[in-house]
Structure 1
Amino acid sequence: MKYILSALVLTLFVSCSKDKESDYVAQNEQEISAYVAKNNLSAQRSDSGLYYVIDEPGTGAQPTASSTVTVEYKGYFTDGSVFDAGKPGGLTFGLNQVIKGWTEGIPYFKEGGSGILLVPAHLGYGSNDSGPIPGGSVLVFDVKLIKVN
């Protein structure tokens, strides 16, 4: 009986977590679609749900998901509130050390390229709060790929 109760509690916990994620996935999709329409963006949607806009494709090297890159960026919510901004000249990091939306999105650009990444929560911080970012949030990033290191 003890094992059945434990299994039931675990099933309920997993089900609730999935329901919460399902809720924000649908919400995020609507929020991103509305943002794209409102701002008249020519965004493309990947199979994972990442939206990206390529303003300038760039002409240099193109990174892979495991590259180290230098990127200038500004991160904000769809209401325009800024939650982070990199320093002038860019920030250097490995694409395997950042949120999934960046690991997938930055390789759409070549060196010198710039654009926008619209990251749904499941490719960002999920349902977890992270500093000024509430769980379930859509993240918008203006990015410029300075260098593939």
Structure 2
Amino acid sequence: MKRLLTALLALTLFISCSKDKGASIDYVAKNELEIKEYIAKNNLTAQRSDTGLYYVITNPGTGIQPTASSNVTVAYKGYFTNGTVFDQSTTGISFGLNQVIKGWTEGIPYFKTGGNGILLIPAHLGYGSSSNGPIPGGSVLVFDVKLNSVN
């Protein structure tokens, strides 16, 4: 009888552990709180889109406004809410907005050429729960962006 109880306990633990293995973490609520705290701490006036992207338009720009499928050149600094920089390009890089993370595809079209501001991107619009280079899964990404041109 003791062996049967031990076997049942072991089987129960095995099943509950194997269920957790494939589960992905939902960062939506955690990211929302982290972004709101960052906005408050830095006295930002940010807008929130329906998808959960937050953006601050410092200068809307006066040139061409890109679409989600435009090719653009953007100067940027990418960092976490704690200020740690993970990537930047001061001269600008060119890419198709349909080839980058969803937060950029949605956020860059808020600016016209010459415009700049901040994108606060929750994980579900960035890299999700997967790590990517120096970016841990579930991370909120903050980008200072300047739209240099729509190509």
TM-score, normalised by the number of residues in structure 2: 0.85
Give the share of equivalent positions with the same residue, in percent: 74
1:63 aligned to which of 51, 63, 66: 66
Corresponding position of 1:94: 96
- In structure 2, C-alpha distance between the alignment counterparts of 1:89 and 1:16, rounded to whole Å: 41
Corresponding position of 1:146: 148
- Find the residue that maps to 1:89 and give its secondary structure: strand
Shift of 1:89: 2.4
- Find the residue that maps to 1:61 and give its secondary structure: coil
Give per-residue Cα distances to partners, 1:36-69, cap 9 Å, x unaligned. 0000000000000000000000000000000000
Q: Which runs of 5+ in 2 are unaligned?
A: 1-18
Q: Higher Cα Rg: structure 1 or 2?
A: 2
Shift of 1:120: 0.1
- Find the residue that maps to 1:130 and give its secondary structure: coil
2:23 aligned to which of 6, 16, 20: 16
Corresponding position of 1:34: 37
- Find the residue that maps to 2:104 and give its secondary structure: helix
Give per-residue Cα distances to partners, 1:118-145, cap 9 Å, x unaligned. 0000000000000000000000000000
- Find the residue that maps to 1:106 and give its secondary structure: helix
Moved more, 129-138 or 88-97: 88-97
TM-score, normalised by the number of residues in structure 1: 0.86
- Find the residue that maps to 2:68 and give its secondary structure: coil
- 1:130 maps to a residue whose letter is N
- In structure 2, C-alpha distance between the alignment counterparts of 1:133 and 1:26, rounded to whole Å: 19
Shift of 1:34: 0.1
The alignment's C-alpha RMSD in Å is 1.7
Q: Which runs of 5+ in 1 are unaligned?
A: 1-11
- Find the residue that maps to 1:16 and give its secondary structure: coil
Corresponding position of 2:106: 104
- 1:40-79 equivalent positions in 2, closer than 5 A: 40-79=43-82
- In structure 2, C-alpha distance between the alignment counterparts of 1:76 and 1:52, rounded to whole Å: 15
Aligned length: 135
- In structure 1, C-alpha distance between the alignment counterparts of 2:23 and 2:132, rounded to whole Å: 21
- In structure 2, C-alpha distance between the alignment counterparts of 1:30 and 1:90, rounded to whole Å: 31
Corresponding position of 2:120: 118
